[in-house]
Structure 1
Amino acid sequence: METLQSMRLFVRVANSDSFSAAGRAFGLSPASVSRHVNALETQLGVRLVHRTSRQLALTEAGQLYLQKATRILADIDALTEQVAQHQARPRGLLHVHTRVAIGRDYLGPLLPGFLARYPEVTVKLFLTEEPRDLIGNNIDIAIRLGNLDEPHLAVRKLSDAAERILFASPAYLEAHGEVDQPEALLRHNCLTWPLDGRFEDGHALWQFRDARGVRELRVTGGLQVNNGDVLREAALAGIGIALLPSWAVAEDLAAGRLRRVLAQWQVTPTTFDHGIYAVYQRTRQIPPKIRVFVDYLVQALRGTPGGPPPVAHPMPRGRALSRDGSGLSV
């Protein structure tokens, strides 16, 4: 950078025939400008300027250097401007990672609108069942469920998720009795979703919250499966009590095929925060392609807990987000 500054000063000296004029343009004293030119001459091993008490004159080497330096500085300035314009305009390849279900049910319906609005951005959507390290996998944005304790990352909430509810068929409740307290579930067949390899003995942990606080229960039953469609069908068949996002069984509840259980309690198998979050590297300047993508998702998902905007893509019945990305989830 010192050489580049000296080059700029030399060009200004040569064009103005004055150390003083060059100094005024750069906010430097004439002596400081002279030192820059001297350092440049020392670096090159050749004299660039003939100095007299009355005037300055370029040597033959100085004239050649002026010609080449002027061209080089113009190229550098043009490159700087081009990069600045690139930075100011959303463009380039955007690497996005998320779970399969989020990509299918949330991002997929919204991508056409985003790509139409930002045609210079190319989205590379990478779907897996496991989270990925952003830096190690060259990921610009990850879309995840639940609030994250990763202070080195920037996190922005995109949407609240749907309430999780317990439900069963009327036939099951008639045969096995109503449930008036969470502890009563210990006597029932609870249809559960295995999470993160916990409770390999077939149990599951359900948490309940009301005005008095939170309590936990280890429940069990005859079916444990990591697919919400199977859990819903099992509940409809009268096998037991299941836990899923409310909208996943809204039609069944409205039609009377299922009935809600313990409606006065909030319930979850993981955390009470089921929000959807965008995660990206924390930097001073967020690249425009990342900024506009996150802004677009925030706007598109605003006020639509648990799913994408209906105008973007009607949600098929029996599909929801999962903690592991494979279909319906608790």
Structure 2
Amino acid sequence: MHPPTAPAIHVQGIEKKFRHNYALRGVELQVATGEVRALLGPNGAGKTTLVKVLTTLIKPDAGVAQVNGWDVTAEPKRVRSSIGMAGQYATVDGVLTGFENLFLIAKLRGAGRRGARRVADDLLARFRLTEAAGQPAATYSGGMRRRLDLAAALVGSPPLVILDEPTTGLDPEARLDTWDAVGELVADGTTILLTTQYLEEADRLADRITVIDQGRVVAEGTSDDLKAQAGQRLVLCVAEDGQLAPAARALASATGAQPDVDRRARRLEVAVTDGSAALGRALAALRSEGVEALELSLCRSTLDDVFLALTGRGRRTPGNRTSQAGQARPEESA
């Protein structure tokens, strides 16, 4: 048994290098028992490398990583016996039925035939797969296969389940189905580490969010905490293309920052820190420029805004995107 006071995950100063490239650069992470933590970051940020360290698939070059109180390097067998894992793609055997998949995994976990049958039946019922229990997993829909994958990760009742981008490649309906299944795990008190690129997924499921970029943790907190750091945004829509340039000048004058401009939607956005005061200045500046606003609103920043600001990526919207009216971003004019 792991110490009852131990956090589910304790990571301190973890580094991992592949040839000349660092995948992890001194990562720090603490996940409390019963918590749902989202690890958010773009492709290549280091999320999957960290998961591989925590699941003992690779060894770190430096630092300490403990899972359920066990050191991943010194006690890998104890770590593996105390976790469940569902990767980016379904790992169940498509030839076997849903029941046979879970029965086999339970047997490999050390259960007897009667115990393995009970575990498989219970998990199939829990994830609403009883009617499909006798069908080959290859015939399952994407959402059903993902639910079966999650069920497989729960064989043995591990206190910690790690989900590495569990909804990658799923259609919207299957993604919602998976979120519901994860919600059931949360309701039962299972500790979950969830890596994802989907901002809505992190916003909906996680108690706390850790943002990782280029192998480093760049921010951590609740969704509300992170959104508060990003402040608010002024959103302006105008009726005619010819008003984009004077509207951009007006917002720049009112806020001290160049607005993002979506020419196709005739929409301008700019981050502000003083909310209603900036809104008043914008109204005055727009009148001075002779711009008629179809819409002018003050919006709370979304998790998308937070992510893009923290990772240094430009905010992108559909259409002919410019940073100033009539001036293309460098990457789009190249």
TM-score over 0.5 for the pair: no
Higher strand share: 2
- With normalisation by structure 1, the TM-score equals 0.22
TM-score normalised by length of structure 2: 0.22
Q: Which has the higher contact order (CA 8 A, sep 6+)?
A: 1
